[in-house]
Amino acid sequence: MKLEQNDETSLFSMTNIPDIFFSEYLSQSSGDYIKLYLYVLFLSKYNKDIKLNDLSKKLALPIQTIQDGLKYWEDLGVITKKGTGFIVNNLQEIELHKLYNPKISLSVEDIERNEKSKFRASSIETINRTFFQGLMSPAWYADISIWFDKYGFDEQVMIALFNYCLKRSALHKNYVQVVADAWSKHGVKTFNDLELYFVKQDALQKIEKAIQKKLGITRPLTEYEKAYIEKWHIDYGYSLDVIEIALKKTTSKASFSFDYLDKIISDWHDRNLKTSDDVQNFLIQYKNQMKSKKELEKKVKYNNFEQRSYDNFDNLYANSQG
């Protein structure tokens, strides 16, 4: 594998790393991949040929990690595959290309065009000073402008987005994008929306912990289990007292699943049952109907109408305690 740089340079005693690497790539890359990039950058100055085996031994990294790392940097455009080797690209040129790509419309003239842009520019500059020590790369400016348009966030929400990611030590674009998508999905646009969202999320986490405790689950909930609970609480609007009625149905089962609980709770939602009293009344009524059905079957060999009405729910409410 041959390594070379795409710009003509003389041989120097130092390997230069542009500041854009630290502001744009460092935080979102693993230590092994950074280690690989730095050594590849060093070798490329001398147009060195090196085999993957040798690279693996030199860096004390598995060959698979070397291959994955090369693919990672290639996907980011930091290196380009060429024949049997790679070209190490100029990071400043990459960022300039991002900045002047036709889809990017942010410029000083655009910012000053109207009051809305001025407010946005002020918040972006606040983000630059607060979270990047005044060294935010040009590509961030463009991305933030796009996020403003895509999500419709107000300035306070955008600043809160960066603060949220910083507190979780994940201030890189992929994570910021994921959080922004989640907030937008839940209708967040203004700071008031965000505060309400946090209140709901706090309540949701308390319900998740309560469900874990009541079911005796000591491991962390899976992503899919959390999605079920979010549906019950956020989408259906059910509080813990309603969900707990379904949880009690698991006590007589040798094993249970969140899918089983979801079928029960979704049935209540489909029946427009809103409170724990509504659910309890329905279960009492259903139990009485089943009792009447059994008494009727003693007198009549088979009742088609009654059978059609109730058999579909026999298994679902088999554990109902009334």
Q: Does 63 fall in a domain?
A: yes
Q: Are 305 and 273 found together in one domain?
A: yes
Measuring CA to CA, which residue among 156, 147, 105, 152 is closest to residue 126? 156
Q: Are 215 and 289 found together in one domain?
A: yes
Assess whether pLDDT exceeds 50 at residue 91: yes
Take residue 302 and report the two structure tokens written for it: 């088979």
* pLDDT tier, 320 (very low <50, low <70, confident <90, very high otherwise): very low
* pLDDT tier, 138 (very low <50, low <70, confident <90, very high otherwise): confident
Mean pLDDT computed over every residue of the chain: 80
Q: Does 320 fall in a domain?
A: no
Q: Do the Cβ atoms of 117 and 110 come closer than 8 Å?
A: yes
Q: Are 294 and 245 found together in one domain?
A: yes
Q: What is the pLDDT of residues 46-56, one digit of tens each?
A: 777 778 888 88
Q: Does 284 fall in a domain?
A: yes
pTM over 0.75: no
Q: Does 301 fall in a domain?
A: yes
Domain-terminating residue out of 128, 155, 189: 189
pLDDT, average across residues 28-40 = 87
Q: Domain of 123: which CATH number?
A: 1.10.10
Quick one: DSSP state of residue 222?
P
Q: Does 118 fall in a domain?
A: yes
Return d(Cα 322, Cα 320) in angstroms, integer.
Answer: 6
Specify the pLDDT at position 176. Answer: 94
Q: What percent of the chain has pLDDT over 90?
A: 32
Q: Do the Cβ atoms of 317 and 283 come closer than 8 Å?
A: yes
- Rounded to 5 degrees, φ, ψ at 112 are -90, 5
Specify the pLDDT at position 188. Answer: 95
* pLDDT tier, 177 (very low <50, low <70, confident <90, very high otherwise): very high
Q: Do the Cβ atoms of 193 and 187 come closer than 8 Å?
A: yes
Q: Does 319 fall in a domain?
A: no
Quick one: DSSP state of residue 302?
-
Q: What is the pLDDT of residues 195-230, one digit of tens each?
A: 999 998 899 999 999 999 988 889 999 989 999 999
Assess whether pLDDT exceeds 60 at residue 94: yes
Lowest mean pLDDT among 1-10, 32-41, 159-168, 267-276: 1-10
Alpha-carbon torsion, ordered 221, 225, 231, 237, to 10 deg = -50
How many domains is the chain built from?
A: 3
Assess whether pLDDT exceeds 70 at residue 102: no
Specify the pLDDT at position 206. Answer: 93
Question: Would you tell me how many other CB atoms lie within 10 Å of the CB of residue 21?
Answer: 17
Q: Does 296 fall in a domain?
A: yes
Q: Domain of 25: which CATH number?
A: 1.10.10.10
Find the domain containing 73 and state its range. Answer: 3-96
Return d(Cα 215, Cα 66) in angstroms, integer.
Answer: 44
